[in-house]
Amino acid sequence: MGQRPKVRMASMELVSPTHENCSAMWINVIPSALKADDAAQLKAKFNFPPEQHFYVPQEAYDTYAQISKRGAALEAEWNTRLAAYGEKYPNQHAELVRRIEGKLPEDWERALPVYKPTDPAVASRKLSEIVLTAISPVLPELLGGSADLTGSNLTKVKGSVDFQPPSTGLGDYSGKYIRYGVREHGMGAIANGLHAYGGIIPFVATFLVSVKAVPFHFAKITHPIEFCVICCWCC
Protein backbone atom coordinates (compact mmCIF):
# COMPACT_ATOMS: atom_id res chain seq x y z
CA MET A 1 0.00 0.00 0.00
CA GLY A 2 2.91 2.34 0.54
CA GLN A 3 3.52 4.68 3.41
CA ARG A 4 0.70 6.84 4.63
CA PRO A 5 1.18 10.60 4.40
CA LYS A 6 2.25 12.22 7.63
CA VAL A 7 -0.49 14.13 9.32
CA ARG A 8 0.89 16.95 11.42
CA MET A 9 -1.37 17.95 14.29
CA ALA A 10 -0.69 20.63 16.83
CA SER A 11 -1.06 19.47 20.40
CA MET A 12 -3.12 21.56 22.77
CA GLU A 13 0.10 23.05 24.16
CA LEU A 14 1.32 24.04 20.68
CA VAL A 15 -1.70 25.68 19.16
CA SER A 16 0.17 28.83 18.24
CA PRO A 17 3.32 30.65 19.39
CA THR A 18 1.19 33.18 21.25
CA HIS A 19 -1.18 30.56 22.72
CA GLU A 20 1.18 27.92 24.04
CA ASN A 21 -0.46 28.11 27.43
CA CYS A 22 -3.26 25.53 27.47
CA SER A 23 -5.67 27.72 29.42
CA ALA A 24 -5.07 30.63 27.09
CA MET A 25 -5.75 28.35 24.14
CA TRP A 26 -9.15 27.35 25.48
CA ILE A 27 -10.08 30.95 26.22
CA ASN A 28 -8.80 32.55 23.00
CA VAL A 29 -8.58 29.94 20.25
CA ILE A 30 -11.67 27.77 20.64
CA PRO A 31 -14.26 30.58 20.31
CA SER A 32 -12.37 32.55 17.65
CA ALA A 33 -10.03 31.98 14.73
CA LEU A 34 -6.28 32.51 14.94
CA LYS A 35 -4.98 35.83 13.73
CA ALA A 36 -3.16 35.83 10.39
CA ASP A 37 0.32 36.15 11.92
CA ASP A 38 -0.45 33.44 14.49
CA ALA A 39 -1.61 31.09 11.72
CA ALA A 40 1.52 31.80 9.66
CA GLN A 41 3.82 31.11 12.62
CA LEU A 42 1.96 27.90 13.42
CA LYS A 43 2.33 26.67 9.83
CA ALA A 44 6.04 27.50 9.86
CA LYS A 45 6.49 25.59 13.13
CA PHE A 46 5.25 22.42 11.41
CA ASN A 47 7.09 23.07 8.13
CA PHE A 48 4.04 24.09 6.11
CA PRO A 49 4.33 27.01 3.66
CA PRO A 50 3.06 29.89 5.84
CA GLU A 51 1.84 31.94 2.88
CA GLN A 52 -0.39 29.19 1.45
CA HIS A 53 -4.00 28.58 2.47
CA PHE A 54 -5.65 25.12 2.47
CA TYR A 55 -2.27 23.53 1.81
CA VAL A 56 -2.20 19.78 1.19
CA PRO A 57 1.21 18.08 0.83
CA GLN A 58 1.88 16.35 -2.47
CA GLU A 59 2.37 13.04 -0.67
CA ALA A 60 -1.28 13.16 0.35
CA TYR A 61 -2.36 13.61 -3.28
CA ASP A 62 -0.07 10.76 -4.34
CA THR A 63 -1.46 8.42 -1.67
CA TYR A 64 -5.09 9.07 -2.59
CA ALA A 65 -4.27 8.71 -6.28
CA GLN A 66 -3.03 5.19 -5.51
CA ILE A 67 -6.23 4.46 -3.60
CA SER A 68 -8.27 5.69 -6.56
CA LYS A 69 -6.41 3.41 -8.95
CA ARG A 70 -6.87 0.43 -6.64
CA GLY A 71 -10.56 1.20 -6.30
CA ALA A 72 -10.99 1.46 -10.06
CA ALA A 73 -9.34 -1.94 -10.50
CA LEU A 74 -11.57 -3.53 -7.86
CA GLU A 75 -14.67 -2.00 -9.44
CA ALA A 76 -13.68 -3.32 -12.87
CA GLU A 77 -13.18 -6.79 -11.38
CA TRP A 78 -16.59 -6.57 -9.66
CA ASN A 79 -18.32 -5.51 -12.89
CA THR A 80 -16.75 -8.44 -14.72
CA ARG A 81 -17.93 -10.89 -12.07
CA LEU A 82 -21.40 -9.32 -12.03
CA ALA A 83 -21.69 -9.67 -15.80
CA ALA A 84 -20.64 -13.33 -15.58
CA TYR A 85 -23.23 -13.86 -12.86
CA GLY A 86 -25.85 -12.33 -15.15
CA GLU A 87 -25.04 -14.79 -17.93
CA LYS A 88 -25.38 -17.74 -15.58
CA TYR A 89 -28.32 -16.51 -13.50
CA PRO A 90 -30.21 -13.89 -15.54
CA ASN A 91 -33.27 -13.67 -13.29
CA GLN A 92 -31.34 -13.30 -10.06
CA HIS A 93 -28.99 -10.84 -11.76
CA ALA A 94 -31.89 -8.65 -12.87
CA GLU A 95 -33.33 -8.63 -9.34
CA LEU A 96 -29.96 -7.80 -7.78
CA VAL A 97 -29.30 -4.95 -10.20
CA ARG A 98 -32.80 -3.57 -9.60
CA ARG A 99 -32.16 -3.42 -5.88
CA ILE A 100 -28.66 -1.96 -6.22
CA GLU A 101 -30.00 0.77 -8.51
CA GLY A 102 -32.74 1.56 -6.02
CA LYS A 103 -35.58 0.84 -8.42
CA LEU A 104 -38.87 -0.46 -7.07
CA PRO A 105 -40.69 -3.43 -8.62
CA GLU A 106 -43.15 -2.55 -11.35
CA ASP A 107 -46.65 -1.80 -10.06
CA TRP A 108 -45.61 -2.32 -6.45
CA GLU A 109 -47.92 0.49 -5.38
CA ARG A 110 -50.94 -1.60 -6.30
CA ALA A 111 -50.35 -3.49 -3.08
CA LEU A 112 -50.93 -0.35 -0.99
CA PRO A 113 -54.22 -0.16 0.91
CA VAL A 114 -56.64 2.60 -0.08
CA TYR A 115 -58.42 4.89 2.36
CA LYS A 116 -61.06 7.61 2.13
CA PRO A 117 -61.53 10.71 4.31
CA THR A 118 -64.78 9.20 5.53
CA ASP A 119 -63.09 6.08 6.91
CA PRO A 120 -63.05 5.78 10.73
CA ALA A 121 -59.93 6.88 12.61
CA VAL A 122 -57.23 4.26 13.09
CA ALA A 123 -54.10 4.46 15.24
CA SER A 124 -51.01 5.23 13.16
CA ARG A 125 -49.20 2.16 14.46
CA LYS A 126 -52.05 -0.04 13.23
CA LEU A 127 -51.99 1.67 9.82
CA SER A 128 -48.25 1.10 9.74
CA GLU A 129 -48.76 -2.61 10.42
CA ILE A 130 -51.36 -2.82 7.64
CA VAL A 131 -49.03 -1.13 5.13
CA LEU A 132 -46.00 -3.24 6.09
CA THR A 133 -48.09 -6.38 5.77
CA ALA A 134 -49.28 -5.29 2.33
CA ILE A 135 -45.95 -4.24 0.82
CA SER A 136 -43.59 -6.83 2.34
CA PRO A 137 -44.47 -9.53 -0.22
CA VAL A 138 -43.81 -7.18 -3.16
CA LEU A 139 -40.72 -5.48 -1.68
CA PRO A 140 -38.33 -8.30 -0.79
CA GLU A 141 -35.60 -5.74 -0.01
CA LEU A 142 -37.63 -4.37 2.92
CA LEU A 143 -35.77 -5.16 6.15
CA GLY A 144 -36.09 -3.68 9.62
CA GLY A 145 -37.57 -3.84 13.06
CA SER A 146 -38.22 -2.08 16.33
CA ALA A 147 -36.21 -0.90 19.31
CA ASP A 148 -37.61 -3.24 21.97
CA LEU A 149 -41.23 -2.28 21.28
CA THR A 150 -42.34 -4.81 18.68
CA GLY A 151 -45.60 -5.57 20.41
CA SER A 152 -46.50 -1.89 20.73
CA ASN A 153 -45.13 -0.69 17.38
CA LEU A 154 -46.83 -3.54 15.48
CA THR A 155 -43.91 -3.74 13.09
CA LYS A 156 -43.51 -7.50 12.83
CA VAL A 157 -45.42 -8.73 9.81
CA LYS A 158 -47.30 -11.98 10.36
CA GLY A 159 -45.22 -14.90 9.16
CA SER A 160 -41.96 -12.95 9.07
CA VAL A 161 -38.76 -14.52 10.40
CA ASP A 162 -36.40 -12.89 12.89
CA PHE A 163 -32.82 -12.24 11.77
CA GLN A 164 -31.09 -14.37 14.41
CA PRO A 165 -28.36 -17.01 14.57
CA PRO A 166 -30.01 -20.40 13.94
CA SER A 167 -28.47 -21.69 17.17
CA THR A 168 -30.81 -19.47 19.19
CA GLY A 169 -33.91 -21.17 17.86
CA LEU A 170 -35.44 -17.71 17.43
CA GLY A 171 -34.87 -17.29 13.69
CA ASP A 172 -32.18 -17.59 11.05
CA TYR A 173 -30.11 -15.50 8.66
CA SER A 174 -32.83 -15.49 6.02
CA GLY A 175 -34.99 -13.45 8.39
CA LYS A 176 -35.83 -9.84 7.65
CA TYR A 177 -37.02 -8.70 11.06
CA ILE A 178 -34.49 -7.20 13.50
CA ARG A 179 -35.06 -6.86 17.23
CA TYR A 180 -32.76 -3.96 18.12
CA GLY A 181 -33.30 -3.96 21.87
CA VAL A 182 -33.33 -0.66 23.77
CA ARG A 183 -30.99 0.94 21.24
CA GLU A 184 -32.85 3.67 19.38
CA HIS A 185 -29.72 5.56 18.37
CA GLY A 186 -27.93 2.36 17.35
CA MET A 187 -30.98 1.28 15.38
CA GLY A 188 -30.90 4.52 13.40
CA ALA A 189 -27.18 4.15 12.73
CA ILE A 190 -27.61 0.53 11.58
CA ALA A 191 -30.45 1.58 9.27
CA ASN A 192 -28.16 4.22 7.76
CA GLY A 193 -25.53 1.56 7.16
CA LEU A 194 -28.00 -0.82 5.54
CA HIS A 195 -29.14 1.92 3.18
CA ALA A 196 -25.58 3.04 2.40
CA TYR A 197 -24.63 -0.55 1.55
CA GLY A 198 -27.37 -0.60 -1.06
CA GLY A 199 -30.05 -3.02 -2.19
CA ILE A 200 -31.95 -2.73 1.09
CA ILE A 201 -34.86 -0.54 2.20
CA PRO A 202 -34.59 -0.31 6.00
CA PHE A 203 -37.50 0.47 8.30
CA VAL A 204 -37.33 1.32 11.99
CA ALA A 205 -39.79 2.03 14.79
CA THR A 206 -39.85 3.31 18.35
CA PHE A 207 -41.60 5.82 20.57
CA LEU A 208 -38.40 7.71 21.44
CA VAL A 209 -38.28 9.60 18.16
CA SER A 210 -35.73 12.22 19.22
CA VAL A 211 -33.09 9.59 20.03
CA LYS A 212 -33.15 7.94 16.63
CA ALA A 213 -33.44 11.28 14.82
CA VAL A 214 -29.77 12.13 15.37
CA PRO A 215 -28.28 9.52 13.00
CA PHE A 216 -30.98 10.32 10.44
CA HIS A 217 -30.06 14.01 10.44
CA PHE A 218 -26.45 12.99 9.88
CA ALA A 219 -27.48 10.72 7.01
CA LYS A 220 -29.37 13.56 5.34
CA ILE A 221 -26.18 15.62 5.39
CA THR A 222 -24.03 12.85 3.90
CA HIS A 223 -26.64 11.54 1.43
CA PRO A 224 -29.09 14.42 0.87
CA ILE A 225 -30.71 13.07 -2.31
CA GLU A 226 -31.00 9.32 -2.07
CA PHE A 227 -31.43 8.86 1.69
CA CYS A 228 -34.30 6.46 2.35
CA VAL A 229 -35.12 4.90 5.70
CA ILE A 230 -38.78 4.23 6.53
CA CYS A 231 -39.69 5.47 10.00
CA CYS A 232 -42.83 4.03 11.53
CA TRP A 233 -44.18 6.82 13.74
CA CYS A 234 -46.20 5.17 16.46
CA CYS A 235 -49.07 7.06 18.05
> Which sequence positions are flagged as catalytic?
184
Burial string for 70-102 (b: 16+ CB within 10 Å, else e) reads: eeeeeeeeeeeeeeeeeeeeeeebeeeeebeee
Amino acid at 51: E
Neighbours of 158 (CB within 10 A): 8
Return the closest-CA partner of residue 202 out of 153, 132, 134, 137: 132
- In angstroms, what is the C-alpha Rg of the chain? 26
